[in-house]
Amino acid sequence: YGHERQSSTVILSSPPVITVMSPTSGTFTTWIPFKCEAQDDDISDILLYTIGVYYNNGSSTDWRNITNQTTSGTGLLYVYNTTQQTNISWRCTVTDSTYTVSATIGDLGIAKQPFVYIGSPVADYYIENQPINLVVSCYLPTSYDYSISHSWIDCNNDGYWDKAVDYTNSSINIHSASDSMQCLRLDPGESTIIGGCVFNKAADKIWKDPFCARLSHTKNYCVVSAQYKVNVHENPNENVFR
């Protein structure tokens, strides 16, 4: 008697492929935003990202992870109080159910210049009617003999502050501020959120930072701002009821 031959199929999977890493260069004063994306031939795989940065944190120069096996390929490193430096590299490591791959790039730097910043420390995906947690940061070198009087945020870009932090009661000049603020409601679609600080100088001083240098010396307050663009998505759990 003959024997029926059984056939079998072997499915071979491939390692993930890192397709996007940014930034590759640049000089930063407050936050360094990292983004890594990878593709996997098995759509059932969950990709886990770890982002590490090689820099001097004031104690030593070494690799330090700022994220560890998260499903988001984004991360932020806060550097406004970190020593000025160059030759900063960063590494993205991606793991699926079978493989681990990594890539290292970058020629980044940290500088001490006046800045104003608004952004998110964690998320870059937003859903309508859910809070958006943001950070507003500003910095003035101590060589500028004036101060930060307020930090603020305008969630709807309508010219009115939705939240502000008041530093005018401080007994010393405030040269750096980093405040967590929240926008409570945004409709689906693209929106621009504005945030920043107010600089305050004495009447006998002049403006000399790059944001306010064009102002007349008779004006003692200078409002500086930055923009953060967001794409707000419809809530998928509410679509069935629309």
CATH number for the domain spanning 62: value is: 2.60.40.10
**Domain limits for position 93:** 17-112
What is the tens place of the pLDDT at every residue in 19-64?
999 999 998 888 899 999 999 988 888 999 999 999 999 889 999 9
Please tell me the distance from the alpha carbon of residue 32 to that of residue 66, in angstroms, as a whole number.
11
Q: Give me the pLDDT at residue 242, please.
A: 47
Tokens of 88: 């900063």
State phi, psi for 162 to the nearest 5 degrees.
Answer: -90, -25
Tokens of 83: 């020593």
Mean pLDDT of 229-241: 74
User: Based on the domain organization, do 141 and 175 belong to the same domain?
Assistant: yes
Whether this prediction's pTM lies above 0.75 is answered by no
HEC secondary structure over 143-192 = CCCCEEEEEEEECCCCCCCCEEEECCCCCCCCCEEEEEEEECCCCCEEEE
Please tell me the distance from the alpha carbon of residue 110 to that of residue 81, in angstroms, as a whole number.
10
**pLDDT top residue among 21 and 82:** 21
Mean pLDDT of 78-99: 90
User: Based on the domain organization, do 97 and 126 belong to the same domain?
Assistant: no
User: Based on the domain organization, do 91 and 173 belong to the same domain?
Assistant: no
User: Based on the domain organization, do 79 and 50 belong to the same domain?
Assistant: yes
Please tell me the distance from the alpha carbon of residue 82 to that of residue 79, in angstroms, as a whole number.
5
**At 236, which CATH number?**
2.60.40.1930
